[in-house]
Structure 1
Amino acid sequence: MARKLKPIITFIATLSLAEITQATSIYDDQYTRFDIYGQIRLINSWDTEKNKTIIGDDGSRIGLFAEHKLPHEVKVFGNIELGLDTQKSNSNNPNSQFQLYNRVGYVGISHAEYGKVQFGRTYIPIDSVAKSNLGYNNTGVLYFADVLSRNTGISSGYVKQENGNTIYRGTGQDIFTLRLPHTIYLETPLFKGVKFAGSYSKPSEGSAERDHSDILHAYSLGLFYQNALGFELATGWAEAVGEKNQTGKKPQDNMFGLGVKYIFPDKTASIGIDYGRLQSTNVVVVGKTLTPTSVTGNWSAHLYSIGAKWHWPESDTGLYAGYGLRSGDKKTFDYTKQTYTLGVDKDFAVMKSKQLLLYIEMAYNHLHSKNQAYEKDNWFLVETGLRFFF
């Protein structure tokens, strides 16, 4: 028997409207369930650096989740999620035509007493560590961890033009702190507020298909804790090793992250603090011409951020503020970036089980670097966004 449409909302637990997740059941009987979900995300941004307004898509996606119950409290499940740019045209130009791309795709098995395991393209544990990213595109430093550029997973796939044909090679751009293909993910059940998670990724492509810096293997570990008093703690580690680059060595990236969050007893306010350390080794060093991402050797950077959010349940309105600091060492030309963010969001119930979110976010960025390739050190950004969850 089909069940009543039911939203699955994590808002109360996180006090972040950015993390609302909804799903609509298209089939549900005693043992099997199919859910469809998605987000339409539009954004209008203006900043003093470009001095122009940009209207575009901000990561719209649609997904399908399936679950089947087996005897002895065992469940098997699968999830596929596709991303799309709703503002692309129907052009034949590959730079502007509409296309779908893969975000996640995995299958797994779970048990209430033993946890779960899943296989495929999936999120990895360190992606869930951040606690200060209470806004949208400009809060938190762990989720947006890139300081200058990654050392692994940076291939565009393009190699060269040969006899009028475009030659491609490589496994694409993969972010080792977000989600990776060919991954096994393990998670323990929650025990007294504590759970552990781990993942290992090893792309299956042979060496002939891989390009410089394509990820050879990666792993991530995470520990998560929460209690009834509103306290949350998360910590994690992620590391990736890539195919040999122009140095003849295998590049490597790693990141440590620690996040702490407190939700006040009346659940109308929360505060989160994050710390991280990002390192890159066996990097391609600066050449004769400086670029904004140039480095002079293996480098490291410290990441700090704090965020706070207030929520008024009567009007489903939120106010949030944040500060983030990315501080690189001498090998990064003493790169330092500070971001101050202030924003307001409002949630609307639409069509019984759907939600519409509107927000405005302002951010001031101050960047200091001894690298002369940076033309501007300060810029102000204003973003207005619309997100429809179904």
Structure 2
Amino acid sequence: MTEMLRRWCGGRPLRTDVAVALACFLLAVPLAAATAYHRGASVTGYLLFLLLSCLPLLVRSRWPVPVVAATVLVGVVELVLIPFSPGPRPEALGISMFAVGVALYAVATRTDRPTAWRTGCCAAAALTLTALIVRPGLEELPQNLGLIAWPCLSVAIGDAVRSRRELLASAVERAERAERTREEEARRRVTEERMRIARELHDVVAHHITLVNAQAGVAHHLMRTDPEHAYRALERIRDTSRAALDELRATVGLLRHSGDRAAPREPAPGLAGLDDLLDAFRHSGLDVALERAGTSADLPPILDLTAYRIVQEALTNTHKHAGPTTARVRLDFGTATDAGVLRLTVEDDGRRTGPGTAADGGAGTGHGMIGMHERARAVGGTLAAGPRPGRRGFRVHAELPLPAGTGRKGCRP
């Protein structure tokens, strides 16, 4: 029966109010009939009076406070008419008190606590004062003061229900907010991982394909005039392509599940392989000089990889855009004023022809340049790239924070 009533109401306030008013009327009918029989009065008159007290409940959801005023008015009229009715006096709690209690419960559940208690106190005061006026005397005092308990009890029950609903709503909101936060964090981590893998793939492919293209050009140019040098260029193409495949296999392995035993275990490249990287560029025709200031032991893997990739991408751009030129790489492991910073500089003397390069005054806007900036920011550093001031060429300068105790004084050429 209760489930059928809930489905019929369906969250509609009007239907709920009709059901509550009807239930209040039906539950109070036996009391009204018994009171009329006990006093020898008309049962029809008492039922009509009960109906009049329940009618305001039809709009209790829309106007809860006016409904309380209407039901209290009916209760006051009932208390005034009691002395003029035949038969013995009934108890102070009349049949209209049921409607008053339901109306005060609605106010407590639909408004704030101060409003509910102010309304309840006003209702209790009106009913109690009326009872004291129409039924004076000490023998009637306990029954008259008993009218205070009914409104206060209704407000207290309604306030407790409202507090419980707010608590449940708050718990549900916190759970939903936590779920949204987890989903957003998961999406953010997926995006960061995707961007990291994209940077790795770009750096690996761009670097090795650039070297392969340069070495293939050398082999094609020397194939007829100097077959020996052309053969050595083809050998370097073979070695470069093998290295590219190894790095691609290691990078694509990041897409595998961490527990997959088939995932590659090759170490990530770092500054320890910088000499081999520069040799590869020298074989492709780029004259590269390396200068080191200070020494560093055991750089964190992420910082080691970041520095290596920045040098790799900067030299790749130099080889692609600068034309025949010389390049210089300088590593400063905290020997300048700020000993906690790795300063990395790559510059060249060539004339760049690609968009966003030194030829047109830009600072570089390709995926490689974006990737270098992202790598530097990922380790808490900064990167600046642009044409060299007052001279031909391009310059990439990065400052990456070193862990405490990493930078050491000294110089190694």
Q: TM-score, normalised on structure 1?
A: 0.21
Q: Looking at both structures, which has the greater relative contact order when contacts are Cα pairs under 8 Å and sequence separation is at least 6? A: 1
Q: TM-score, normalised on structure 2?
A: 0.20
| Structure in which a larger fraction of residues adopt strand | 1
| Structure in which a larger fraction of residues adopt helix | 2
Report which of the two structures shows the higher radius of gyration computed on alpha carbons.
2
